[in-house]
Amino acid sequence: MGSQILRAATPGGFDGAMTSRITDLIGRHFDKIFILLLAAGLFVYASISPTFRLRGEIPPQFVETTKPSADQQAVERTARAYWDCAVIQIQWQYAYGSPLPQDPPPEFALAREDKIATDPATRLYYWHRLQAVWSVPSTWKRGYRWNFDWTTAWIEPTQNWLNRHLPGLGNGG
């Protein structure tokens, strides 16, 4: 009786045959499954890109707090308006980490009727404040988005290369 139990658990018995079939099945399809999972992982890795956006909250360095003002609320409203302008207009023109130009672009302006807020000196002052906080990492929030541009980014450079090196193929050259 003991030898029958031993024989059933050996490679020639039932357990061995089942293990052999599972190993053969996995062995046959493992390469395909592995390549498929690797390709899917590479596709996801290449399709996710980081994005940097200005935070909605005003950085403390942006608001003027050094000189006491009788109308601190007006100063804070002006700072908020210029910060909102930076969030809505400027961040789309200049990427995170890129330097801002010395002079403010036309988009960095307020449409309000407040003469102090729209004064060119005030506008330049807040532009310099924006330049000071632009490169501070805490001013930005990092996110991720799907980006499939890489799937077609090779087409134009390839077409240009073909036009330069093989002009006789009727490809526009």
Residue 171 vs residue 50, higher pLDDT: 50
Q: Which of 60, 121, 47, 133 is nearest to 90 (CA)?
A: 133
The distance of Cα 40 from the centroid of its chain, to the nearest Å, equals 20
**Chain segment 154-172, per-residue pLDDT in tens:** 888 988 888 888 877 765 5
Tokens of 34: 């592995």
Q: How far is 117 from 133, CA to CA, in rounded Å?
A: 20
Helices (runs of H) and strands (runs of E) counted in the chain: 5, 2
Residue 125 pLDDT exceeds 90 = yes
**For residue 6, what pLDDT is reported?**
46
**Chain segment 53-104, per-residue pLDDT in tens:** 999 899 988 887 666 666 778 888 889 999 999 999 999 999 888 899 999 9
**For residue 69, what pLDDT is reported?**
62
**Chain segment 79-89, per-residue pLDDT in tens:** 999 999 999 99
Q: How confident is the model at residue 114 (pLDDT cuts 50, 70, 90)?
A: low
